[in-house]
Amino acid sequence: MSNTVELPRWIDVGALPLLNLLLALLVSALVVLAIGENPIKVVEILLYGAFGYDEAWGYTLYYTTNFIFTGLSFAVAFHCGLFNIGAEGQAYIGGLGVTLAALYLDFLPFPLMLVVGIMAAAIFGAAWAYIPAYLQARRGSHIVITTIMFNFIASSLMVYLLVNVLRPQGSMTPESERISENLTLPFIHDMAASFGIDMASSPLNLSFVYAIAASVLVWLFIWHTRWGYAIRTVGANAVAATYAGIDPGRYIIIAMMISGALASFMALNEVMGVQHRLLIDFTAGYGFVGIAVALMGRNHPFGIFLAALLFGMLYQGGAELSFEIPTISNDMVVVIQGLVILFTGAMEHMFRPRVTKMYTAWRLRRDRMEAA
């Protein structure tokens, strides 16, 4: 018997995240005021920069694509009770898989290449996630520690590979050869053009569609298959899982490998979609921000989509902001993004107890009035 009533869904997934977001924006406004700029103007530029014109939309959704993948990655592991901080490394290694496939299997026709690219990314990302997963499942090494370490290992490994192995002869930059042009993902504006629709050019590409598809698949997997059921059981109550004959270790490994594969799809967007080669540090922190995206989206694909859109907006609008207002440097934009992550992700539970209390009091009064 608890002392409070449960919050209705609209507060839990709607009002609370919104409240956290507003607080983040309020504190950001104070910071903006402190450096002598007008917060209202900043918000205007931010919104215009993110949604104000065609090209802006394209960029916003391009960033959103990355956040959807890393957010989904975190969510799947989280449903199994695992805090996977390793999306960064898993995506990085996934990028290696995509690049190798595109460079060495360049004789494949594009549709087949797309499938092979997705598979290569998934296999590499999942394999990288497998090791910490195995250590957690069978040796009890904590997943948070091992995935952090594996981010560092991935980073070092990729530097080595890019400098010593993948760098074309004569090149001075640590990046791989370009992949063949007919193997890259089509840009959305090019696809639109072939239907006679005129769109501003942007990095938004086919992987955005795949991100939406992946969201639907994750939703089906988690809530509508017996494997998803098993994963949720392990995450919520490992003892009950054992009682039911569900081996928690097995599902920890499965969930982590799926998580690693989802993270690695970010490389489809970056490597096959936009950069067309493997760049050093191309993951650029998307893996970490994915944690905030998933937490804000309550680990539900639809929520993750909305949260990813928000962060896509912050990234694109933020870039515009530092361009438009020189006193707001790129670092300032990072501060604002950081505040949003802080309030929506890390301090997610700040308002919850108070809101729950208020809601409980309101419900009690209503119940009593109804009874009277």
Partner 1 sequence: MHQMHGAGETGAVQPAIELRGIDKRFGAVHANKEIDLKVEKGTIHGIVGENGAGKSTLMSILYGFYQADAGTIHVDGKLCDIKGSEDAIAVGIGMVHQHFMLVETFSVLENVILGVEGGAVLRDGVDKARVELKRLEREYALDIDPDAIVGDLSVGLQQRVEILKALYRGAEILILDEPTGVLTPQEADHLFRILNTLKEQGKTVVLITHKLREIMAATDNVSVMRQGAMVADRKTAQTSPEELSELMVGRKVLLRLEKGAANPGATVLAVNNLCVDNAQGIHKVKNATFTVRAGEIVGVAGVSGNGQSELLEALGGIRAVCEGSVTLNDQDVTPGKGVDAAELRRRGVAHVPEDRHRMAMVTGFSAKEAAILGYENDPAYQKGPLLDWHAISDATAHMMSEFDVRPDNPDLKAANFSGGNQQKLVLAREIMRDPELLLVGQPTRGVDIGAIEFIHKRIVAMRDAGKAVLLVSVELDEIMSLADRILVMCDGAIIGEVSAAEANERVLGLMMAGVDPNEAKAKAAEGQA
In the complex, which residues of this chain contact partner 1 (CB under 8 A)? 1-6, 220, 224-226, 229-230, 232-233, 236-237, 239-240, 242-247, 360, 363-364, 367
- Considering beta carbons, is residue 178 or 363 the nearer one to partner 1? 363
Strand partners, 235: none
**The token pair that represents 267 in the structure block:** 């490389």
- Considering beta carbons, is residue 234 or 291 the nearer one to partner 1? 234
For residue 362, the minimal CB distance to partner 1 (Å) is: 11
- Considering beta carbons, is residue 165 or 239 the nearer one to partner 1? 239
Burial class (CB in 10 A: 0-12, 13-18, 19+), 196: exposed
- Considering beta carbons, is residue 163 or 364 the nearer one to partner 1? 364
For residue 252, the minimal CB distance to partner 1 (Å) is: 16
- Considering beta carbons, is residue 252 or 328 the nearer one to partner 1? 252
Q: Which residue stretches of the chain are H helix? A: 9, 16-34, 39-51, 54-79, 87-104, 110-139, 143-160, 188-194, 207-224, 226-236, 238-243, 248-264, 266-267, 286-296, 301-324, 330-341, 352-371
Contact (CB, 8 A) for 256 and 235: no
Contact (CB, 8 A) for 51 and 248: no
For residue 79, the minimal CB distance to partner 1 (Å) is: 11
For residue 157, the minimal CB distance to partner 1 (Å) is: 36
For residue 24, the minimal CB distance to partner 1 (Å) is: 28
For residue 64, the minimal CB distance to partner 1 (Å) is: 28
- Considering beta carbons, is residue 40 or 240 the nearer one to partner 1? 240
Sign of CA dihedral 115, 217, 285, 251: negative
